[in-house]
Each structure stands twice: as C-alpha cells, then as structure tokens.
Structure 1
Amino acid sequence: MRDAIRNLAAAVLWGTSAGGAPFLLITIPVFWSGLEHSGVEMIWAAFLPLVYAGLLVLAAAIAIGLPLTALLGEAGMESPVNYMIAGALFGFLIPATLLAALVGEGAVGLLFGIPGTLAGTATAFRWSMWRTKVQSQDCGLESE
C-alpha cells in the first residue's frame, strides 16, 4: 500500500510539473517585474499555476485514475498505451469542460486543454511504469 501511495504521489508530481510548467513561463516573468510587491507575494503568485495544476491532477488521479486502474486490471488491459490514451483524453476534457462551464467560453477551455493533455499523459505514463513493474512481479510470483 505504501508503495502505491508513493507511486501515485510521483505520478501526480509528474503531471503537475507537465501541466503547470508552461504557465510558469508566463507567470514568473510577469510577477518578477512586479518588484513593488513583497517577495513572498510574488513567489506565491508566480507559482500559483503549479498549485492549481497539482490540485486538478491529484483530484483526477484519485477520481478517474484509480478507478481506471481497477477497470483496466479487471479487463486484463493494463498497458502504458491504454493509460496514456486515457490520461491524454481526460487531461484535455477536464480543464476544457471546467473552463467552459465556469467562464462560458469554449475556446478558452480548449486552449487550457493543451497543458491538461500534457498533465494527463505525464501522470498516466508515470503511473503505468509502476503498474507494469507490479504486473511483472505478479507474473513472476504466480509462476513459482
């Protein structure tokens, strides 16, 4: 169980980095130029995209990724490709749908779907690496 939690945290970190990093290219220079604010405020504001990305990635990993693992495992369809297709799809749909619902503008949501796709794919890739390792160990134990 501890290994699963550690690998879930690693997958969320990968997804957070992939989904939030593109926004840091914008926020860090913008808030760096606002030197009249305190250093803590500037750092917090500059790295806020990582906080938002992390919360979304964590919620999606728990609400979608873990049930998907159970479904794929039960169907015998666990593979990096299947995880990454699902990660890319949900990674695109979640921010696109959320922003379309909150802002009412579909085009903005589609734009945010791009880093969401990166986040979902990175999270799924990292999780699938661990799942592949677990499967290979399970196969080795069953053959003994």
Structure 2
Amino acid sequence: MTKLSDKLADLSVQVGDIEARAEAFKAEQQEKREQKVAAMKADVRAQQIKLQAAVQSTSDEIASAWAAFNQSMQDKTVSVRNEIEARLAAIDAGRAEHHADRLEFNAALAIDFALVAMEDAELAVAEAINARLHSDALSAATND
C-alpha cells in the first residue's frame, strides 16, 4: 500500500504543475490541443475506472464509508475524527491497528479521488481554453 505521505506529495506536484501546463497548452496548435484533450479524457476515464475497481474490491463497510465521503466530505471528516477518538479510548491495541489501517485506506482512497478530480479539473481547463481559442479564431475570421 502506498504511504499517505507519498500520495500527498504526488498530489502537491500535480497541483503545482497545472498552471504551467495550462499556459503551455494555450500556445500549442489546435490539432495538438485536441489530441491532448482526447488523451486527457482517456487518462481521466482510466483513473476513474481504476478508482472504481479499488472501491468495489473493498468490504461493504469501506464502500459505505466511501459513498458517505462522496456525499459530504466535511461530515465524513467529523465522523472519522469522532470515531477514532471513541474507538481508541475503548479498544485494545490489535483492534486499534486494524482500525488505523482501515482509516489509512480510506484516506488513500480520498487522495485518489482528489487526484482524479484534479485531473478532471485540468481537462476542464484545457477544454475551456481550446473552446475559447476556437471561438476567438472564428470571430477573427468573420471580422476579416
């Protein structure tokens, strides 16, 4: 299982690169932008399928927690914190480790979800840029 710190580092690197990639995307030819958008769509879909498979392979309890997370990130955060405090106070070390492992797995899934959402956002930015540049080109052509 990938460490949470590694997943967070990956997320941080990708977030830092989005602005530079968006600026570079603007300067590319339309055909290349369209190819990149198509590739981004395929990558996002592949990540979604991979994440969905990971969620489906977990137990019903983790799948339920994942569905609740998708519904309300804030409610899940509060619930997990309260559950951790209550269980850590009441259970033995072996059960505490199992509980910690499950919560780390949930956190890893949440990070994977964030990565997919970020890639989807980058795709949306690329599509918006592409549409704006296309619109500008059409406007310029009609004004000539």
Q: Which has the higher contact order (CA 8 A, sep 6+)?
A: 2
TM-score, normalised relative to structure 1: 0.35
Larger Rg: 2
